[in-house]
Every structure is written in structure tokens, then in C-alpha cells.
Structure 1
Amino acid sequence: MIYPLTAKEVAKRVLEGNLFILDVRNEGDFNNWKIEGKNVTSINKPYFDLIDGVEEILDHLPSDQDILVVCAKEGSSKMVADMLDEAGREKVFYLEGGMKAWSEYLQPVKVGDLKSGGELYQFNRIGKGCLSYFVASQGEAAIIDSARMTDAYEEFAAQKNLKITHLIDTHLHADHISGGRKLAEKTGGKYWLPSKDAEEVTFSYEPLEDGQEIKVGESNITIQALYSPGHTIGSTSLMIDDNYLLSGDILFVDSIGRPDLAGKAEDWVGDLRTTLYTKYKELSDDLIVLPAHFGKMSELNENGVVQEKLSVLFEKNEGLNIQDEEEFRKAVSENLPPQPNAYQEIRQTNMGKINPDEESQREMEIGPNRCAITE
């Protein structure tokens, strides 16, 4: 028998470890982006090499583990899973919806409680390394750096009987299509965007300026904006509850943001250094940094949250410890990873200049995020 596994079920197995994957996509697609995690083993054998049979790979498959077959959209993985079943392998699984479904799954994880009974959640787009945030307080919710799969946030808000009142983007994203504007239109909430990133947008928005305070619910929960350019000219970090620093794409657990996705690396590298080495240095060491992306599954803590104290990052993050300014400039402008897939089209979509259909948006986003200076 073969069995489907949803992206949610695969995510659970990835976080628990002990998963074996047979990926039947083309080698280039596999090398560019695959399912990874602690104790997750994967091998690649393109589907077209298996059309005549799977006998040649049977010896490469474990006998004491379930096997998950993965492809781009599902069809090829089901066929290979059937062939493995016919060859005598028991309990073979395939990823329902393929890597497209894996790319779109959002997993909410509680970060912590806030003052006056509020809560903060991190939504982990585990297949792409994108992180968004959900602030809940006294019947209202604010969502930060929303993914385009807005149903997940709406369903979560409905479960908690919350009205979505604020949608905030820390910057104009280049690696994924924001769901903030769409959610604002559906819920009647306010959509906030840094004005310096919004000079070419075709829609109305609330300008997110330095020092701006956004209140969530009739409580003391406020989201305070801290202008922190460098990844983009408008990049703005958010302070929540005087305890959490949502750093957007400026600072990650294992790296720092790249300044080149709008073609302005030389112009913005100085801003990036000032933000990281001056503005962030003036903040409390006890702040919990919550980034908008992660690069490796090892960045998730034991609770499944990507976070770290600012003091620890200043001690261990290499991007925060390049004292020579010229050396820093070279580190963030030379030998960078490839730019995100279709990043120019994604930026244009987020500006409202183009309006691709749903399938085109999926294709534009396929692949890992690449907003850090290292992968």
C-alpha cells in the first residue's frame, strides 16, 4: 500500500527527525532546494531514470524506515511509490501536492505571552524558511510579514475569535509575495508599509515611520517601529512588548541581511552596518530577536521557534563581528548566494505593478529564501 502525507504531517516528521526521502525531481531542482532537517536523509533519483523500474535503487533504500517519495507536484511521486510497493516495499508514502504544497505550508508556534494577556505566535513557512508573526490581544490581531497564503491566518484568528486589525510588512519583500494587502482588503484592517519602500506602489497604505506605535486591542500591547535600513532603504524593525525585536530581513540567527536585492548594494551597505553596529547596539541585550527568515533547521529551538537573545547574536553571529568597515563591505557585497527566484517579479507584485494569477505566484516563489548574505 502507498499512503499520502500532507505537508503538515511531513513537517511534524521533519521536526521529530528520522525521515528518509526519495526525491524524484531533476538533479538541479533537488540541489537548489529540498526538504531538510535533523536526522532527515534524502537521495535524488530523477523520475525519468525510474520509468523502466526501480530495481536499481532498492539497495539504496533503508529497510527499517518509512520511505517518503517527493516530486514537484505529486504525480511522479505517486507513480514511483506504486512501483516501490509493487517491488515489495511496505508503507511507502508520497508528499501530497508535492514540493509546491511543502513550499506553502504554514505552521503556527507560540513564542510567548504578552502583557495584559496577549500572545505572540510565529508562523513558520518551514518549506521556504519564511517567518511571519501573529500578535493577539483582547479580541484583536496584528500580522507581520504575512505570506500570501492568507487562509492560514484567517482560520487561526477565527479559532481564537480575533478580528484582524493590522497588517504590517517590515519592508518591501523580494523573496515572497506578501499577503498583507490582500488580508487588509478582506478584513478591513490597516495595511502598514515603510514609506521609503513604497515610492512606486500603486495602492494606498499606512506609512510605517520610525517611532510609530500601533496598538493591538484595548490593552497596553503596542508595536513600535524602529527604522533600520540596510536590506532595503525602508527596512523597519518592530519592538513588541519591550521584550521582542522583530528584525525583518536585517538580522537573522546565523547571518545578516543582504543589501543587493534592489540593485543598491553599494548604496545600502553603509546603512546596513549602521543599523547592526550602532542602532541595534544601543538596544537592550535582553531583547529576543525574531527574524523574518531562517536558513537551516538547526536554527529552530527545542520548541520549534526561531529566536535568539540579542546579546547572544552579538557574541556568536559572524555578521555582527566584522570590525573592519572595508572587510564588512566586502562580506555583504561579494560572493553572495544566488538571488531569490523571480525576485524582480515578486517586488513588482508587492508594489501592485503586476497581478499574476495564483499558479504564476506559486511558480515565482518556488525555491528557498535567499535574503541573507550566506545560505
Structure 2
Amino acid sequence: MGMKLISAKEVTEKVLSDQSLFILDVRNEDAFSDWKIEGKHIEHLNVPYFDLIDGVDEIVDKLPKDSEILVVCAKQGSSEMVGEHLVEAGFKDVFVLEGGMKSWSEYLNPVKISDLKDGGSIYQFVRIGKGCLSYLIKSNGEAIVVDATRTVDAFIDFAKDRDVTIKHVLDTHLHADHISGGRLLQERTGATYYLPPKDAEEVQFDYEPLVEGNDLSVGDTKVTVEPLYSPGHTIGSTSLIVDDKYLLTGDILFVESIGRPDLAGKAGDWADDLRNTLYDKYKELSHDLIVLPAHFGNMSELDDQGRVHAKLGDLYEQNAGLNMEEKEFHRAVSENLPPQPNAYQEIRQTNMGKINPNEEDQREMEIGPNRCAIHG
């Protein structure tokens, strides 16, 4: 059969359908240990490319003889050369990840969450290789995009396919782990870009303030997006209530963890805000609300359709971050935190408009896992 290229979309479909997958990852050990393709039935072998330049004889005994082998590297070139060695060694089902781990980092998988009561729909865009979650809410030919990633073609193409105009674009907070696509979507579509003003004091561009009391509507059927000020991850963090049924929590509350307050150097100052949001403000909301976060940390958080969601009441029972004494909570959100996101200061500056890196630099800045939660 020889060697074939396989897209990030096709690999995503294999991962989400729990197919068995053997991955030969030829990146350096530190890159592999930092971040890899994960899934329920994935087996890895990490051997750096430089150890395989002359052939794969040394690892033949460690590779499956009768099943597919997916070779991955950073950008594609190294894995193609290793893939050719595998074919020469007699392996028949050899695949190479097209675009390497960079394409894996950028791929967005759109999945429908639900229809809304007045005829609209809400979709979740799962950035499976990075753990980012974006949302598109549409109704009667209009749409709102929430927490867009920088790969905005996914949203534009999705809207075009459904004959929908993107009317509003908003970020729940100033992101530190990935570059927002908000301004680029505004430029490309003419949509209005909203940002919480308390997170926007240093931004170098015009925006509309996303503030509690200023509801946003989409479509004639008036699907209403209701902002709720919910600081803690950042001082401006603002949640959204959609259709009185969905709570878009940004990076304040996740399915298996809670947000971290230290990415602007304010862990001590913002820990009280975070606790107040999670333990008081959210607790007053209907526990039947469906939480839709801006990130996930583990593949276990995806359901059998590839969606990330949970009922707020269930999280108050099951999420350890919502069940801590005050001293324990303060320790958890300010000590022993996982490493901060790669290049997070440069990402914050990019999202403020203070620096304007080119696309290749933006890719490099984003490589690696999201680290917005208090657990790794």
C-alpha cells in the first residue's frame, strides 16, 4: 500500500470514534513529553528523527506488523522520510500526518451542541490538538462567534455553508494561551468585536465593551446572549448565558477543573475574585444550566459525540475545584500550578495589539497544550 498522507481531520475522526492507533512520534523527547496526540486507544512510540536518519532497523521489533502506523513530526518533512524507511522495511499501512503537529494544533472540529428554543442553534468548535473550545450561535441568518481561535477560516466557511452572516464576535476574556481570532474575524466579516473593558485597558484597537446588562441578540427570533461579569481567571472575565439554558464560562470553570488566576501575575489578588465567582455568583444561577467552557484538559471530557459540556449542578457535586475549604482553595490556585502556557506573555501582547507577529511566529507561539486550568 505504501505511504499515504492523512489529514488532521481524518485523525480526529479516528480518535473520536475510539479507533486503535499506533503513533510513531519522531519529534525530540521534550516536545513529545510536553504535548502529543491523545486518545483512548492510542499507543505511542517516541524515537527522535535523528536516530532514524539511516533507517528503522533498530525499532522494527517495537512496531506493529499488521496494523496502521501513523508517523508524526513537527511540520511533516521528517515524518515523510521516516515513513519511506518504514515502507522500505516492509510495513504496508504507513500514514504521515499532513502538516505535522502544527496542523494538529490548528484543526477545529465543529460539532452541534443543540437547537435553541426560538429556532437557532449552538455549535462548539473543538480544537482537539490544543484543548480550545470556540462557539458559534446562529439564528435566522445571523451568528455570534465566541472565543474564536486565530484560524478563522473554519468559522467563515461554516457560516458561508449555512448562508449565515457573522454579526458579533466576542472574547470572554483576554486570552493568554492562544491568539484570539476576534479582530481578524472582525476585519474579514465586518462583525462587531466585543471585549470585557477591564481586560482591555491596554489594547491598541477599537472594540465594543462586553458588559453585564448589555445583552446581545442574534437573528429575528432574538436568541439573547446575556453577559455575566465573572472575574477570577482575569479581572475582566465575563461569562455568557444563552437562551436561559447554556452558561459559557470562558476560562473560569471547566468540566474537570477550574481556571487559574496567575496568567497576568495576579494569582494572590484574583484568587478571591475567582472564589467569589465560583462559590457565590455561579451558585445563584440555575443548576440546570449547561456549562460550555472555553477549554478542556483531557480527552475524557469529550462525550461520545466529541462535545465538552456538563450540567452546572453536576459540577458542584463532581468538580474538586468547586468543593474546597477557603485555605485549600487559595493554595490550589496559587501554589504548585502547572507550567504557564508557552509564550503566554507574547500571546497576551498580541491579543492586546501591542505586537503583530507574522503567521509562522504565531504558530510557534501557540505550539503545546493549553494550560489555563489549575491541574495539568
Asked whether the equivalents of residues 124 and 133 of structure 2 are also in contact (C-alpha less than 8 Å), the reply is yes
Q: Distance in 2 between matches of 1:170 and 1:245?
A: 12
- Residue of structure 2 equivalent to 1:225: 227
Question: Contact 1:224 / 1:240 at 8 angstroms: preserved in 2?
Answer: yes
CA drift of 1:212 comes to 2.0
Deviation at 1:58, TM superposition (A): 1.1
**Which residue identity does 2:353 align to in structure 1?**
G
- Partner AA of 2:225 in structure 1: I
1:27-69 CA-to-partner distances (Å, cap 9, x unmatched) read: 0000000000111111100000111221111111112320000
- The TM-score, its normalising length taken from structure 2, stands at 0.99
Identity of aligned residues (%): 67
Deviation of residue 187 (structure 1)? 1.1
Question: Pick from 83, 86, 89: which aligns with 1:87?
Answer: 89
SS at match of 2:231: coil
Deviations 1:304-325 (A, max 9, x none): 1000000110000000000x21
What is the distance in 2 between the residues matched to 1:36 and 1:190? 36
Q: Residue type matched to 2:221 in 1?
A: S
Match of 1:112, SS state, is strand
Question: Which AA in structure 1 matches 2:312?
Answer: L
| One-letter amino acid of the structure 1 residue matched with residue 358 of structure 2 | D
Which residue matches 1:347?
Answer: 348
Pick the aligned partner of 2:153 from 145, 151, 154. 151
The residue type paired with residue 371 of structure 1 is: C
Aligned to 2:336: 335
Q: Which residue of 1 aligns with 2:179?
A: 177
Kept after mapping to 1: 8 A contact 2:16/2:305: no
Q: What residue ranges of structure 2 are gaps of 5+ in the alignment?
A: none
**Distance in 2 between the 1:207 and 1:106 partners?**
27
Residues 164 and 189 of structure 1 are in contact (CA less than 8 Å); yes or no, is this contact kept in structure 2? yes
Which deviations, in whole Å up to 9, do the C-alpha atoms of 1:272-303 show, x marking residues without a partner?
A: 00000000100111000000000111100111
Within a 5 Å distance, the mapping from 1:1-375 to structure 2 comes to 1-17=2-18, 18-322=20-324, 324-375=325-376
Amino acid of the residue matched to residue 113 of structure 1?
D
Q: Give the aligned residue type for 1:308.
A: A
Q: Distance in 1 between matches of 2:287 and 2:42?
A: 34
Q: Secondary structure at the match of 2:118?
A: helix
Structure 1 runs of 4+ aligned residues shifted over 3 Å read none
Query: 1:218: how far off?
Result: 1.3
Q: Deviation digits for residues 142-165 of structure 1, max 9, x if unmatched?
A: 000000001110000000000000
The AA in structure 2 aligned to 1:80 is V
Give the counterpart letter for 2:113 in structure 1: V
Equivalent pairs counted in the alignment come to 374
Mapped contact 1:141–1:166 kept (Cα < 8 A): yes
Would you say the 8 A contact 2:76–2:98 is kept in 1? yes
Q: Distance in 1 between matches of 2:59 and 2:317?
A: 46
Partners of 1:59 and 1:243 lie apart in 2 by 53
- Preserved contact between residue 195 and residue 209 of structure 1 (Cα < 8 Å): yes
- The CA distance in 2 between the partners of 1:332 and 1:67, in whole Å, is 40
Root-mean-square deviation over aligned CA pairs = 0.7
Letter matched to residue 145 of structure 2: I
AA aligned opposite 1:60: K
User: Is contact 1:115-1:220 (8 Å) kept?
Assistant: no
How far apart in 2 are the matches of 1:64 and 1:114?
A: 47
Q: Is the 8 A contact 1:211 1:224 kept in 2?
A: yes
Maintained 8 Å contact 1:81/1:92? yes
Aligned-partner residue type, residue 109 of structure 1: V
Q: CA deviation at 1:222?
A: 0.4
Q: What runs of 5+ residues in structure 1 fail to find an aligned partner?
A: none
Query: Contact conserved, 2:67 with 2:93, CA < 8 A, in 1?
Result: no
Deviation at 1:211, TM superposition (A): 2.4
For residues 221 and 186 of structure 2, the distance between their equivalents in structure 1, rounded to whole angstroms, comes to 22
Structure 1 position 246, deviation (Å): 0.3
Question: Per-residue deviation at 1:334?
Answer: 0.4
Confirm or deny: 8 A CA contact 1:265 1:333 kept in the other structure.
yes
Q: Supply the distance in 2 between the matched residues of 1:66 and 1:117 (Cα, whole angstroms).
A: 44
SS of aligned partner of 1:143 = strand
